[in-house]
Amino acid sequence: MESPEGDRIKATSLSTPGSSPAVQESPVFNFISNLSPINSVKAASNDADAASRGYGDCGNRMSTVLVPCIQKELQSCSPSGCVDDYLTDPVEVEGCSNSNELCVQPAKNVSKLSSSGFNSPTITSPKVNGANDRNSEDFMHMLPDQAEEDPLRSLALFETAIEQRDAESFDGSHKLTPTEKADQVESNAFLLSSAQHYEQFTAHFDEKSLYTMSSFEMSVSQNVMLQNTGTQHNGQDGSSQSPKNLQNVEADKNSSENVGPVSTGLLKESTSHQRGIRRHLQFEAALAGKCITTSKSHSSHNVTQESDNSTLPASFRDWESLIPSDIESREVSSGREATSSSQNVASRLSFCQSEFVRSSQNEESLPLIGPLPPGFSLHLSSMAELMPISSDLMPTGRIHDYLKNDQLDDQAVVGASLVISQYTDSMKQISDSLQMTLSEQQAAPCEGMMLTSEIEEKKASNSSESEDCKRCNCKKSKCLKLYCDCFAAGIYCIDSCACESCFNKPEYEETVTDTRQQIQSRNPLAFAPKIVGHADSAANVVEDGNLTTPASARHKRGCNCKKSKCLKKYCECFQANVGCSDGCRCEGCSNSFGRKTESKYQKVQRWENQSHVKLDAAANVTDSTKTRTIKPFSARWEDLPDMSHLTPLSYSYPEAEASSVSPSMREFQNVRRAHLHQESSFQSSVNPHWQSPMSSMPQFHEDFAEHNRRSSYCKVHDTTKEDNMPEIQKDTSTPSNASKADIPNKKQISPPQFQSQELRSSSTPGGLESDHKFSWKNVPSFPPLTPYSKSKDDIGQTGSDFKGHPSDNR
DNA sequence: GAGTTTGAAACT
DNA sequence: CAGTTTCAAACTC
C-alpha cells in the first residue's frame, strides 16, 4: 500500500489546475469557494495525508486507481480512448459493508451486462498529452476570465476535462504513483469545486435544470469511484494499487468467482457501477435537456464517444444504489410533460426517479439502454432553484465535507453516499409535496376538459387516473346523445370510456358539433348544467362530513323519480347531492338532501342549522382563523374575508381549517371544494375542442383554462352554478345573498357574456370587487349554449322557486 | 359479470 | 304535451 508522501502535496499543488492562483484569485473562484466547504484545493491537498492514510487502511478500500485520474485527466488522455476504458474499472468485491447502497445490486444484473459485452473491451486508452490536454487547461484558464462570458465553452471544456479524467482514470496501462494519488485527491476536490463552477455557468442555460446536477452527480461519482476503487484493493488484492486493465477486470471477474456468488455479484456490480456513474458524467452533459427522455430516446442517442451506450443500465444501477430503498417508483404519469417549470421539476424528479428505479428493477427485460439515472438527481438542483430548499438539504456541501479532507476511506465515501441518500430522501419529500400541490392544482382525475393530446398523453401515462373518473359506456348512442355523459358534459370520449361506435371524438368533430347544435336547437339548455346552485347557497356538510351541494341548489329540471324515492342515484337530484325542489315531479320523494315538499325556506333553515352545529363545534378557533372569522351567515359580500388569494391554484381546504373558520368561510370552502371535486360540469363544458360554433368563447387566461380543463369531471358533471345559467339573476333576492357562495365557482365559470348580468345579479350593496370580477370573468365557462336572449326566459323562472319543467325539452 | 331496475333522453 | 321507446347508469345478485 501506498503511504503518504511528502512530495505528493507539492506535486499536487503544481499539477492541479484547481490550485492555480489565477483561479483562486478569481471572483468566480472565490464565489465558488464560499459556496463550498472546500476552502481551496490546496486545503484539500493538505489533507491528502489523511486521505492517504486510508490507502493503507486495507480494511476498506482506498482509492488508488482513481486518484491519479484527475490529475492526468487534465494533462493527457485521448478522449477516444476513454470510451471503454471504463471497462477496466477496478472492481469491488467485498468490503462494502458500510455502503449498502453500493452493494445491493444483484449479481444477475451484472451478469447481464457482462454477457452483453460490457466487459469485453479491448481498447487501451492511450495517454495523450498535448492537444487533448489543452481542453482541460483551457477550461481552467478560462474559469476566471472567460467562463462567465462564454459559458458554453466553459461547459465544453469542463466536460472534456471530465472525459479525459475518466479516460485517464481507467487507463489500465497507467500505474499510480503516490504523487498521482495525491494529485487525484486534490483533483477530486478541484473537480468538485469546478463542478460548482460549472454549475454556475450552466445555470444560465435553458436546460439548466438538466445541466446543473451534473456537478452534483459528478461529486457523487467521485465518491462512488473512490469507494469502488478502494474496496477493490481490499477485496481483490489488498496490496494491489495498480489500476486494472481490461484483462485484469476479466481476471478479477474470474477470480471473484472463487470468492462466491455474492462476491461475484459485488464484483460485477461494482464494475458496472463505476462505469455507469462515470459514463453518465459524460452522457448527461451530452444529453443535457434529454434527461427525461425514455429509454427509447436514449437508445437512439448518439453519445459522444460512446459507441457502446449499453453501459447505461449500469449507471442506472449505480444510481439506484444511491437512492434510498424507500424511494419507490412513483407514477410515471406525474412526470409526463408538464407545463410549468415547477411542475417540470417535480414531475421530472419523480419521473426520472421512478424511471430509473423502475428500469433498474426491471432490467431483466430491459434493453441495454434506458433513461438516465441523472434524472433523479439533476432535477434536484432545479428544485433548489425553484423552491426554498434550505441549504442543509443540499448535500453538496456535506459531500464536500467528506471529500475535502481527502478522507478517501470507505467511511468518507459511505458518508457521502449517505448524504446523497438523505438528500434524495429530502428531495423525495419535496417532490411528493410538490406533486401533491400540483395534483391539487391540476388534479385531473378525469380528462374531462383536457385537450385531446393531453388526454392521449395522460391515458398513456396513467390509466389508473382515468379509472378514477367514470366515463361513458354507451353502446348505441354513439356518444352523440345526451345519454352519453361525456357528450353531455361537452367533452370528448377517451379511451377509458367503454363506449362503442363512439363518435364523440376529435376526429368526428364536425359530427359532434352538428349533433350538438341539433340538440341545442331542440333544447337550448340541453348542455347547460343540470344543477343550479343558488347564490345564497353554500355547500352543506352532512353528518358524515360529506359535502353536498348548497341547500338551495337544485336540479334545474327536477327529477321525475317514481320508484327510487329520490334516494338512489337514479335520481339526478340525489346524485348531485341536491334536494328535490318543487320543480321535481318525483313521487314519494325522500331525498335526504331535501325533499320536494320542503320549501326553500325550510331548506335554508335546515342548512343553517347544520351550519350552526358545525359552527359550535368549531367555536374554538385559533387567533389566525379568528382574523378571518366573519359574521355567520353574512349576506354581504364585503363581510366575507378576502378570498382573492384563493385562486384555483392556491386554494387549499384542510378540513381542520374549514372547521375553524366562520360558517360563511366554511361555506365558501365547501362550495369550492364541492365544485372542485364533485361538480365540474361547468368546467367540463369548457372544452375548447368542443365549442359549438355558436359559442365564440374567447380564449381566456390559459392558467384558468388549464385549470378548468384539468378539473375533475366526474359523473356529477351536470352540477354547476347558476351563474352560468341564464337564470343567474333571478335569485338575487333569495334569503342569503346569492353570489357569495358561488364566488369561487364564478371564478371559473363566468363567461364574459354574462359579466354584465353577473354584475347585476351579484351586485350587493357593497358590490363585487372589480378584481374579483375580473378574475372570474377571465375564466371560461361552459360554452354559451344558446343565444343569450334565450336565457331571459329562464331568468323569470328562477325568481321564484324553480318550478318550471324542462320547458326546453318536454 | 350478467341481468334487472330506473329514469333521463329521445322520439312520436 | 303526453305517451312511448331508447338508452345508459345504477343497482342487484
Least reliable range by pLDDT among A136-140, A384-388, A413-417, A770-774 = A770-774
**pLDDT tens digits, residue range A491-529?**
888 888 888 888 888 888 888 988 888 888 888 888 887
* Chain C, protein-covered positions (CB within 7 A): 1-3, 6-11
Percent of chain A's residues with pLDDT above 70: 13
The pLDDT of residue A521: 84
Which positions ≥6 away from A624 have C-beta within 8 Å? none
Report CA(A539)–C1'(B7) in Å, whole number.
Answer: 26
Where on the phi/psi map is residue A198: left (φ > 0), alpha (ψ -120 to 50), or beta? alpha
Residue from A218, A464, A429, A221 nearest A326 by CA = A429
* Chain B, protein-covered positions (CB within 7 A): 5-11
Cell numbers placing A416: 457521502
The pLDDT of residue A600: 54
Dihedral pair phi/psi, residue A654, rounded to 5°: -60, 145
In terms of DSSP bridges, do strands A531-533 and A554-555 run parallel, antiparallel, or are they unpaired?
A: antiparallel
The residues of A between 566 and 595 with beta carbon within 7 Å of nucleic strand C are 568-570, 575
**pLDDT tens digits, residue range A392-436?**
334 444 444 444 444 444 454 444 454 445 554 445 544 444 444
**pLDDT tens digits, residue range A617-662?**
444 433 333 333 333 323 233 233 333 333 332 333 333 333 333 3
Partnered with residue A720 across adjacent β-strands are A532
A562 Cβ contacts chain C strand, under 7 Å: no
Does residue A582 have a pLDDT over 60?
A: yes
As a whole number of angstroms, the distance between CA A552 and CA A599 comes to 10
As a whole number of angstroms, the distance between CA A665 and CA A667 comes to 5
Does residue A242 have a pLDDT over 60?
A: no
Does residue A568 have a pLDDT over 60?
A: yes
Report CA(A804)–C1'(C1) in Å, whole number.
Answer: 14
- Which nucleotide has the least CA–C1' distance to A558? B8
**pLDDT tens digits, residue range A656-709?**
333 333 333 433 344 334 333 433 333 333 343 444 333 333 333 333 333 333
pLDDT confidence of A90, banded at 50, 70, 90? very low
Dihedral pair phi/psi, residue A547, rounded to 5°: -90, 145
Name the closest residue (CA) to the C1' of nucleotide B6. A570
Cell numbers placing A291: 434527461
A473 Cβ contacts chain C strand, under 7 Å: yes
Which positions ≥6 away from A321 have C-beta within 8 Å? A101, A102, A103, A104, A105, A269, A273
Does residue A576 have a pLDDT over 60?
A: yes
Strand B contacts (Cβ < 7 A) comprise A 481-483, 488, 519, 522-523, 526, 530, 557, 559-565, 568, 570-572, 806, 809-810
Report CA(A475)–C1'(C4) in Å, whole number.
Answer: 21
As a whole number of angstroms, the distance between CA A529 and CA A298 comes to 47
**pLDDT tens digits, residue range A149-180?**
554 554 555 555 555 554 444 444 444 455 54
Report CA(A666)–C1'(C12) in Å, whole number.
Answer: 38
pLDDT confidence of A85, banded at 50, 70, 90? very low
As a whole number of angstroms, the distance between CA A353 and CA A358 comes to 8
The pLDDT of residue A772: 33
How many other CB atoms are there within 10 angstroms of residue A732's CB atom?
Answer: 19
The pLDDT of residue A36: 42
The pLDDT of residue A602: 57
Q: How far is CA A711 from CA A450, A456, A457, A743, in A?
A: 9, 16, 16, 17
Query: Is the torsion defined by CA of A132, A232, A362, A355 positive or negative?
Result: negative
Report CA(A643)–C1'(C9) in Å, whole number.
Answer: 38
The pLDDT of residue A603: 57
A803 Cβ contacts chain C strand, under 7 Å: no
pLDDT confidence of A592, banded at 50, 70, 90? confident
- Which nucleotide has the least CA–C1' distance to A484? C8
Name the closest residue (CA) to the C1' of nucleotide B10. A481
- Which nucleotide has the least CA–C1' distance to A481? B9
* DSSP-derived secondary structure letter, A130: S
* Residue A431 near residue A387, CB atoms below 8 Å: no
- Which nucleotide has the least CA–C1' distance to A518? B10
3-state secondary structure of A74: coil
Partnered with residue A352 across adjacent β-strands are none
Report CA(A296)–C1'(B11) in Å, whole number.
Answer: 53
pLDDT confidence of A553, banded at 50, 70, 90? confident
The pLDDT of residue A528: 82
Residue from A446, A352, A415 nearest A99 by CA = A415
- Which nucleotide has the least CA–C1' distance to A585? B7
Query: Is the torsion defined by CA of A487, A491, A497, A500 positive or negative?
Result: positive
- Which nucleotide has the least CA–C1' distance to A477? C7
The pLDDT of residue A472: 87
* Residue A454 near residue A495, CB atoms below 8 Å: no
**pLDDT tens digits, residue range A522-551?**
888 888 877 776 534 444 444 333 444 455
In terms of DSSP bridges, do strands A719-721 and A531-533 run parallel, antiparallel, or are they unpaired?
A: parallel
Q: What is the DSSP string of A284-347?
A: HHHHTT-TT--HHHHHH---TT-S-GGGHHHHHHHHHHHS-TT-----GGGGS--SSHHHHHHH
* Residue A368 near residue A310, CB atoms below 8 Å: yes
Which positions ≥6 away from A299 have C-beta within 8 Å? A309, A367, A369
Report CA(A501)–C1'(B10) in Å, whole number.
Answer: 19
As a whole number of angstroms, the distance between CA A117 and CA A147 comes to 39
C-beta pairs of A13-17 under 8 Å, 24+ apart in sequence: A13/A41, A13/A42, A13/A45, A13/A186, A15/A71, A15/A74, A15/A75, A15/A183, A16/A41, A16/A45, A16/A70, A16/A71, A16/A74, A16/A183, A16/A186, A16/A187, A16/A190, A17/A74, A17/A136, A17/A137, A17/A139, A17/A140, A17/A190
Domain ranges of chain A: 6-439, 452-522, 531-799
Where on the phi/psi map is residue A787: left (φ > 0), alpha (ψ -120 to 50), or beta? beta
The pLDDT of residue A490: 86
**pLDDT tens digits, residue range A285-304?**
333 333 333 333 333 333 33
3-state secondary structure of A263: helix
The residues of A between 484 and 503 with beta carbon within 7 Å of nucleic strand C are 484-485, 499
As a whole number of angstroms, the distance between CA A750 and CA A768 comes to 14
Which positions ≥6 away from A789 have C-beta within 8 Å? none
The pLDDT of residue A496: 80
Does residue A555 have a pLDDT over 50?
A: yes
**pLDDT tens digits, residue range A302-330?**
333 333 333 333 333 333 333 333 333 33
Mean pLDDT, chain A, integer: 45
Report CA(A499)–C1'(C13) in Å, whole number.
Answer: 25
Report CA(A435)–C1'(B8) in Å, whole number.
Answer: 39
The pLDDT of residue A529: 77
pLDDT confidence of A263, banded at 50, 70, 90? very low
A132 Cβ contacts chain C strand, under 7 Å: no
The residues of A between 704 and 723 with beta carbon within 7 Å of nucleic strand C are 715
The pLDDT of residue A612: 54
Cell numbers placing A379: 432535477
The pLDDT of residue A686: 37
- Which nucleotide has the least CA–C1' distance to A526? B9
